[in-house]
Amino acid sequence: DAGVIQSPRHEVTEMGQEVTLRCKPISGHDYLFWYRQTMMRGLELLIYFNNNVPIDDSGMPEDRFSAKMPNASFSTLKIQPSEPRDSAVYFCASSKYRTEAFFGQGTRLTVV
Amino acid sequence: QQQVKQSPQSLIVQKGGIPIINCAYENTAFDYFPWYQQFPGKGPALLIAIRPDVSEKKEGRFTISFNKSAKQFSLHIMDSQPGDSATYFCAAGGGNQGGKLIFGQGTELSVKP
């Protein structure tokens, strides 16, 4: 298996623009997680899905952030409008069981 | 209750040394404690994990020690190598947390040749 695939790997955008990050989980995994990593806050869980249904979105920072999982092989994290403080590395992870999460390579987002 | 506290923030050892990274948690409902290894520009990779019914687990040169009563666990790396230089994260989850993993702040390990 190719592992968790994220795109794009790098994204530079201007403040106020919409940003969409994409994730393809490992086939057969029924949990999908979105994490954000910054120097100040470390690794934070934003939201996770089980069988395509959002289970816990308490980590989503504000209404500018939204996530969808239309099917078992695809998820998106959208930021609209983006702000400089959203600059971070965003990771998608998936797991077959609740806890053994496998991470993608991440998307480095820079908002200028 | 949700925090996982990790120390030290950074660690430098000589090749062959045994770095030890410590973590403490508060939520007694946690029942899964993994360690992740992250190299620059890469995502965290699962290294080793333990459940609270055992006090120690070894996989190769990596050992987790678990102290349930103290709510602490630690990672030991035997015969450390320069290739082990990375950032290490402890985490805690399971129990009443559903699929959540709560991560420590990370330890940047440097192994000098």
pLDDT given at position A41: 86
pLDDT given at position A17: 97
Select the residue of A42, A50, A56 nearest B103 (Cβ to Cβ). A42
Q: How far apart are CA B64 and CA B55, in angstroms?
A: 8
A104 is written with which tokens? Answer: 């993608």
Q: Do B46 and A100 lie within an 8 Å CB cutoff?
A: yes
Number of Cβ atoms within 10 Å of the Cβ of B24:
18
Number of Cβ atoms within 10 Å of the Cβ of B48:
17
- At residue A61, does pLDDT exceed 80? yes
Chain A residues close to B106, C-beta within 8 Å: 42-43
pLDDT given at position B1: 56
Q: Any idea which of A88-92, B10-14, B91-95 has the lowest mean pLDDT?
A: B91-95
Most confident of A40-44, B4-8, B95-99: B4-8
pLDDT band at A51 (very low <50, low <70, confident <90, very high): very high
pLDDT given at position B100: 80
pLDDT given at position A106: 97
pLDDT digit string, tens, across residues B79-101: 999 999 999 999 998 877 777 88
Tell me whether the omega of the peptide bond preceding residue B44 falls within 30 degrees of 0, making it cis: no
Q: Do A45 and B100 lie within an 8 Å CB cutoff?
A: yes
Chain A residues close to B104, C-beta within 8 Å: 42
pLDDT given at position A1: 63
- At residue B2, does pLDDT exceed 90? no
When scoring B4, B37, B59, B100 by the number of chain A Cβ atoms within 10 A, the one with the most, hence best to mutate, is B100
Q: Any idea which of A72-76, B98-102, B106-110 has the lowest mean pLDDT?
A: B98-102
Q: CA A55, A10, A2, B91 torsion: positive or negative?
A: negative
Residues of B with CB under 8 A from a CB of A: 32, 34, 36, 41-46, 49, 89, 93-94, 98-106
pLDDT given at position B98: 72
pLDDT digit string, tens, across residues B44-64: 999 999 998 999 999 999 999
- Given CB atoms, is A18 within the 8 Å cutoff of chain B? no
For chain A, the distance separating the N- and C-terminal CA atoms, rounded to the nearest angstrom, is 36
